[in-house]
Amino acid sequence: MASELETLFKLQEIDAELLVKHREVETFEHSLSERRLEMDGCSARIDGLAARRKELVNLRALADRRVSDNQEQLKERRQRLTRVRNERELRAGEGEVNSLREEIDTQEEQLLELMNQVEEIERQLGDLRKEYSELEDAAQRQVEQDQARIDELKKELDAERASRDTVAAELGGSMRSRYEQVLARRGGRAVVRVNGGSCAGCHMQIPPQTVIEILKSGAVRTCPSCQRILYVAEQQPSA
């Protein structure tokens, strides 16, 4: 039957593997989340440009109507000039015609600017929609691959957790609780080897007497510095 220390070390190995796979799952899930955020951002930009395009199209239609209305007025004013009776009416009519021409010129410039803005936004929309389509295609392929790997890892994690529970059940309640506490405090490494007389966790020198006790009786001892549980696999060189 395995000693308590050997059981702890075996449990540590299982937990280390679980941690690696858990982090791999987190990495894949983070990658999927980043892709979704990228697509959402692109979609939001498309929506923003589409709303701006709608606004500009409405302004363009309004500007076009104003130009059309003023051109009708200009036509009417010119017809009135043919019916003037005196110099005063002629000058007044010509003033109105010139004023309308200037107003139409200004409005046509504004209309042209709006038309250019609409064309530019439509170009940007085309580029963004192409970008979104490419992101969507790439994401679909990657999501399928990543999700398959995530599902595979989760199955492995379930199997290894079952194995872990079996090993952990060999420990007494107090020792298991002690192990779990050190595991949580020390970033997933509760049991470490003694290498060359030093703790593999914090690299502090371990008293030779502690190493001897572990070797002789398999006693559970902790590092005086980091409080990790020490494991000695074979005879250590004498100090």
Question: Is the confidence at residue 239, as pLDDT, over 60?
Answer: no
Q: Which regions of the chain carry the CATH code 1.10.287.1700?
A: 25-159
**CA nearest neighbour of 25 among 116, 141, 149:** 149
Query: Average pLDDT, stretch 152-159?
Result: 90
Give 53-72 pLDDT, tens digit per residue.
999 999 999 999 999 999 99
Question: Is the confidence at residue 236, as pLDDT, over 80?
Answer: no
How many CB atoms lie under 10 A from the CB of residue 5?
A: 20
Give 81-137 pLDDT, tens digit per residue.
888 888 888 888 899 999 999 999 999 999 999 999 999 999 999 999 999 999 888
* CA 108 – CA 70 distance, rounded (Å): 11
The token pair that represents 63 in the structure block: 């500007």
Give 170-225 pLDDT, tens digit per residue.
888 888 998 989 988 888 889 998 988 999 999 999 999 999 888 888 888 999 99
pTM summary value: 0.57
**CA nearest neighbour of 67 among 34, 103, 98, 99:** 103
Candidates 2.60.120.260, 3.40.50.850, 1.10.287.1700, 1.10.10.10; correct CATH number of 25-159?
A: 1.10.287.1700
Share above pLDDT 70 across residues of the chain, in percent, rounded to a whole number: 97
